[in-house]
Amino acid sequence: MTIEINGVCEEQFLPLKEAFVANFDAGLEIGASVAVMHQGRSVVDLWAGYADPERTLPWQQDTIVCVYSTTKAMVITCILKLVSDGKIDLDEPLATYWPEFGQAGKSGITTKHVLLHQAGMPGFTEAQTFEAMHDWDYVIDTLARQEPWFEPGSQACYHALTFGFILGEVARRLTGRLLSEYFVEEFARPAGIDFHIGLKDPAILGRVAKFGLPEVSSPPFVEGMAARAFDSVAEGDWESWANQSAEMPSANGFGNARSIAHLGAILAMNGELDGRRYLSPEIVEMASTEQSYMDCEPMGLVRFGLGFGLHSEGFSSPTPTSFHWGGYGGSSIVMDCSKGVSFGYAQNNLTLREKVDEDVRLDRLWDALGSVMEGL
């Protein structure tokens, strides 16, 4: 029996709804949400399924879930604002803003290096406990003292967890606020975006979906330096309050498709939404145009804008002009300034993929999105 789909979808965007339904019909989802905004207006806002793997709690309109590395889109957007406001020079050494970071051979690392995953800091040289990642000051001190794993700018390796800590500390030094606080004050509150980098109030737990986890935790496509980076932090309970409430900007964001697409609309609309200017058009253009094109472990050959992936043979997008990012388990964000379209997807069935860009659910949704956008 086809599962009940809740929400709205304008006729022009019905292929998205059909793809969403098909994922449930194929048994690929537990609970999920998908959303699209066009020219700053909500045109798709759908949710269905269950907020727990036992399938006892319906996924509600306000259900949120950890979207892992899709949280990086919020981190990137915060850094873009600091650049847009003239507080960060992308080519200036990070040590200009965070002096302690300049030790141990890191004096030449720039904000741009981090955004492009070229900083040489993809993991921790000394093995870390899972709980250590909940202590901001400890992590920042550890990264400041650590030597880079490779010459910054010479190659790329996904900075899975360190990305948010490094950029978050730069933001903290410049604003006096944790990145989670800066995001709320500069984006979430004024734009009405229901997205949280770390949960601040236990009362919100009633809205948080629980995961359906794969039997194996390590994706087979992660090897080499990337595997060393992932293995540098021990595994632990991601659904513990200690973890859910921690400041881990790379991977500890909670939202749904609606909130992801809403944030994406700011970028898709060249930095302005509902009459408020958040980012300069110039920084959005830089974020959505090629800044590097090289192999990046474990993703392969990747074209990067500022922090976001761009369409390429090895790292495709729904349209050639869109830019995007995603998280463990399949969540994703897509923006296309030429169409004024933003897309969000969030779910709680964390599949284990054979390749970094392989997810049947996401492929189906992106194919539908691409076909719709051709007609806009």
Among 56-60, 131-135, 152-156, 352-356, which stretch is predicted with the lowest mean pLDDT?
352-356
Name the pLDDT band for 300 (thresholds 50, 70, 90).
Answer: confident
pLDDT of residue 312: 85
**Residue 216 above 50 pLDDT?**
no
Q: Phi and psi dihedrals of 214, rounded to 5?
A: -70, 160
Domains in the chain and their CATH numbers?
5-374 (3.40.710.10)
pLDDT of residue 258: 98
Intra-chain end-to-end CA distance of the chain, in Å: 33
pLDDT of residue 163: 98
CA distance 189 to 144: 32
pLDDT of residue 248: 97
pLDDT tens-digit series, residues 342-362:
999 999 998 755 555 568 999
**Residue 2 above 80 pLDDT?**
no
Name the average pLDDT for the chain: 94
pLDDT tens-digit series, residues 15-43:
999 999 999 999 999 999 999 999 999 99
- The residues, any chain, with a CB within 8 Å of residue 70's CB and separated by 6 or more, are 253, 260, 325, 326, 327, 331, 332, 333, 346
pLDDT of residue 219: 57
pLDDT tens-digit series, residues 103-125:
999 999 999 999 999 999 999 99
